[in-house]
Amino acid sequence: MALAQPAGRTYAAAVADLRRGWEQRTLWGHLGWQDIRQRYRRSVLGPVWITISMAVTAVALGILYSGLFDVPLERLLPHVLVGFIVWAFISGCITEGSEVFIANEGLIKHLPAPLSVHVYRLVWRQALFFAHNLIVYLVMLLVFPQPLKWTVVYAVPAFFLLALNGAWVALAVGIITARFRDILPITQSVVQLAFFLTPIVWIYDELINSPNPAIAERARLAEFNPFLHFLEIIRRPLLGQDQQLRYWVVVLAITVVGWLFTMLVMRRYRSRVSYWV
């Protein structure tokens, strides 16, 4: 005879947590907005600093790597700028997601709310940052016009997939980090390394089409970098470039596998998080 699952350690309980967390979007929506206001409290420009810091960093690196790679600034800067905007969202979901439950220890222990509320709050906050950074993208279009086409609308479902993956990463890594605190510095180091391995400040197509076959062969190894695919499904439409089906296939596959893994983690360990933090 099969043994009954302990209360709270079933897939139904995990799904219910996600559903109840979504139903409380008024709560996490308000908390996410307050996070941004609190971060820039007493600042004259407030959240505008998000846009300024992004613009300064992207322009500086664009000018630097334009000279290093001998690529025209009007080609490299838009590539770097959009890459930075997307990467800020990805890295924010991963690094902040790894400590999402640790940082909300007080709320978890004293507020009877689903765990997913804290993850929704995190993803919503990163989405607000993303929206602020899009101001830099709009300014860039005025300075360096791009051949935008109707395919720019693909950026919407691409961002939805980005947010969907940010949620499962924050849930899974957040639960694991609550139990094993050494995961936190490891995650931060991996994200820093991934920045240089992902075509953000360098152009992938330029390297794979290099006349040097050794460079082109090594550049193709970037296909094994999952961040490349997430980056390209949203950067290409925003720059008016043609879509590549393989990027979407890889992202959809990662989304399905990632959520299956996360549901397994939630089923087994969701009820223990309040004891670990």
**What DSSP letter does each residue of 216-238 carry, written as one string?**
HHHHGGGGG-HHHHHHHHHHHHH
Q: Could you give the CA distance from residue 17 to residue 151 in angstroms, rounded to a whole number?
A: 36
Provide the domain count of the chain. 1
Residue 5 inside a domain? The answer is no
Alpha carbon 260 to its chain's center: 19
Residue 3 inside a domain? The answer is no
Q: Could you give the CA distance from residue 167 to residue 123 in angstroms, rounded to a whole number?
A: 6
Residue 92 inside a domain? The answer is yes
Residue 242 inside a domain? The answer is yes
Residue 55 inside a domain? The answer is yes
Residue 169 inside a domain? The answer is yes
Residue 152 inside a domain? The answer is yes
Residue 270 is predicted with a pLDDT of: 86
Residue 2 is predicted with a pLDDT of: 41
Q: Could you give the CA distance from residue 150 to residue 243 in angstroms, rounded to a whole number?
A: 12
Q: Could you give the CA distance from residue 105 to residue 102 in angstroms, rounded to a whole number?
A: 5
Residue 208 is predicted with a pLDDT of: 77
pLDDT one digit per residue (tens) for the chain, 277 residues: 343 445 457 888 889 999 999 999 898 888 888 888 777 666 656 666 777 877 888 888 888 888 877 888 888 889 999 999 999 999 999 999 999 999 888 888 887 788 899 999 999 999 998 998 888 899 889 988 888 889 899 999 999 999 999 999 999 999 999 989 888 999 999 999 999 889 888 888 877 777 777 777 777 888 899 999 999 999 999 999 988 899 999 999 999 999 999 999 999 988 888 888 8
Residue 45 is predicted with a pLDDT of: 62
Please classify residue 37 by burial: count the beta carbons closer than 10 Å to its beta carbon, then call 0-12 exposed, 13-18 middle and 19+ buried: exposed
Q: First CA to last CA across the chain, in angstroms?
A: 36
Structure tokens at 73: 């600034």
Find tokens 């209360």 and name the residue.
Answer: 7
Q: Could you give the CA distance from residue 103 to residue 115 in angstroms, rounded to a whole number?
A: 13
Residue 182 inside a domain? The answer is yes
User: How many C-beta atoms surround the C-beta of residue 213 within 10 A?
Assistant: 8
Structural domain boundaries enclosing 68 = 11-37+46-275
